[in-house]
Structure 1
Amino acid sequence: MSTTQPLRTLLCFNNHPTFFSLPFDQIGPVWTATQALMAGIARLEGVSIMGTFDDDQTFVGASQGFPYTWYILADFPNRETVQAACNLLRTIVVGEGNDRLWKYMTVEARMGRALEIPQL
């Protein structure tokens, strides 16, 4: 009997120019929504977050693709759970308005498998 291996997934998030054009005093609600996104991903059943990465100290401003703004590396139980994580951008409300988080960022999920590092 074989066991199902988790999907090692790199969630790549890219902040849109709509985020970077916000007045400084309006960034807080987006950050609060981003924290809700991270917590929501961590709460999905069967998800194990391996780590996060934000390169905002050496890459400042919006990019149109790679390199992305920030990342989450996690093991997911299946593709449907990865889709549920990505869908959170459509459902999380930013602040008191009617904007969703996807107005301010995109996500791309790269799914694969963990590589074993050989003993050399």
Structure 2
Amino acid sequence: MTMATENKKIRALFCCAVLQNFFDLPGDKIPDVLKATGQLLRTIREMPGVDVLGTMDDDETMVGTSPNGWPWTFYILADVPDRQTAVDICGLFRTSEVGEYRLWKYMRIEARLGRELVMPE
């Protein structure tokens, strides 16, 4: 007898911090980092099995770097098909190019993985 198993997605909160290197950039170089970040977000949304549930940006109420992990600068809440996909999303910061550097020079990311909070009625 074979039972069908349901593949449940993993709920992932990607916490992203802007680093001091971003703030040290000349003004004319800042758009390059913002464009790379926009492309990164589009790439995440297009990844197979990824459902971006929402994003949040703290930039209006938090000014400066996020050196200690909290508060973060922006967040991405997504359902991902597996842990490897979450790892791959984090890896985009290592591979996304911004001029001669990678995005991780200007930002860092940490993923919190869990499941949707469901309470019995």
Task: Give the TM-score normalised by structure 2.
Answer: 0.92
Shift of 1:84: 0.8
Match of 1:44 among 24, 32, 47: 47
Q: Classify the secondary structure of the residue corresponding to 2:97.
A: coil
1:11 is matched with 14
1:77 is matched with 81
Q: Classify the secondary structure of the residue corresponding to 1:27.
A: helix
Q: Does 1:102 align with 2:78?
A: no
Counterpart-to-counterpart distance in 1, 2:105 and 2:66: 15
Q: Deviations over 1:63-99 (max 9, x none)?
A: 21111000000000000111111111111111xx320
Match of 2:24 among 21, 25, 30: 21
Shift of 1:118: 5.6
Which has more radius of gyration? 2
Determine what percentage of the aligned residue pairs are the same residue.
Answer: 47
Q: Does 1:30 align with 2:33?
A: yes
Match of 2:95 among 86, 91, 96: 91
Gaps spanning 5+ residues in structure 2: where?
none
* C-alpha RMSD of the superposition: 1.1
Counterpart of 2:24 in structure 1: which amino acid?
Answer: S
Q: Classify the secondary structure of the residue corresponding to 2:101.
A: coil
* Total equivalences in the alignment: 117
